[in-house]
Amino acid sequence: RGLSLSISAVAQNVATPEAQDALKRALAKKAVGLVKSGMVVGLGTGSTASLAIEELGRLIKQGKLKDVVAVGANYQSRVLARQFGVKTVDLNDINIIDIAFDGVDEVDFNKNLLKGGGAAHTMQKVVDSFAKECVILADQSKVVLQLGSTFPVPVEVLPAAISPVLRRLITLGGVPEIRSALRKDGPVITDLGNMVVDVSFPNGIPNPADLEMRINMIPGVVENGIVSGIATSVLVAIQDGDNVTVL
Ligand code: 5RP
């Protein structure tokens, strides 16, 4: 099933950063409410996923959740988990992830996602895809009619293959730009030691699953930020006057 939202909820900017934070907190609370004692939880990355990790730690500390362990998608989520008292385990040491939470940069009505704003999409896709339930947390600004409307597609690339990959991305209709590090000279380097290329598609992305596959078939590409067929549910937080509703 797709998202049951009205079209009027599309890409509604949130008035202030504080209001957006309130939406993200409401999402985190609702998502962590789905966790049961004894579960293995996958932890995504970004400001929304971080609030979910904090909430998970709070319930564990209060004794409301017992024997929960977590698999962090990257350094940031693992460090935060330990900081909030959530025990972490290695992905390679477990057989199943019961539920994973993750944020998103864009989500369409068919639950296709665009991720990678934080350059962490490769391992997020691994963790999210191994979860029985993958719950995506989106405030109202993230809902779009078509992926690529507000963000380019992040592509993680082996540094040694950057030039041929850029040329191949152009043949797919993309306009690639190597992501550079803020306040530093040089490119962003991911947790996995690779570069990130942000690719805009001026003609739109009518078929996300097809583009996801085509980009990943370019030798030298590690993973791209289009995620089709992995989200099992999407929680959307909407500001409604002074109230927050999570759908
Ligand atoms: C990082 C991601 C994040 O999930 C995405 O950027 C959303 O972040 P936030 O919750 O801070 O808005 O894909 O690579």
User: Could you read off the pLDDT of 231-246 as tens digits, one per residue?
Assistant: 999 999 998 887 888 9
Which ligand 1 atom sits nearest the alpha carbon of residue 47?
A: 11
Which ligand 1 atom sits nearest the alpha carbon of residue 137?
A: 10
72 lines ligand 1 (CB under 6 A): no
E-strand stretches of 56-124: 69-72, 87-88, 97-102, 106-107, 113-114
227, 112 in Cβ contact below 8 A?
yes
115, 73 in Cβ contact below 8 A?
no
Amino acid 242: pLDDT: 79
Indicate which residue's Cα is closest to atom 6 of ligand 1.
117
Distance CA 236, CA 135 (A): 11
- Token pair for residue 108? 């369409």
- Token pair for residue 57? 């730690």
**7 has pLDDT over 60:** no
Distance CA 44, CA 9 (A): 24
| Greatest distance between any 2 Cα atoms in the chain | 55
Query: Residue 19 pairs with which residues in a beta bridge?
Result: none
Cα of 35 to ligand 1 centre, how many Å?
A: 21
**10 has pLDDT over 70:** no
Distance CA 181, CA 30 (A): 34
Q: Which class for 73: exposed (0-12), middle (13-18), buried (19 or more C-beta within 10 A)? A: buried
ipTM of the modeled complex: 0.97
C-alpha count within 13 angstroms, C-beta hemisphere, residue 171: 10
Distance CA 1, CA 144 (A): 17
Q: Tell me: the pLDDT tens digits for 124-174?
A: 999 999 999 999 999 999 999 999 999 999 999 999 999 999 999 999 999
128 lines ligand 1 (CB under 6 A): no
Distance CA 154, CA 132 (A): 25
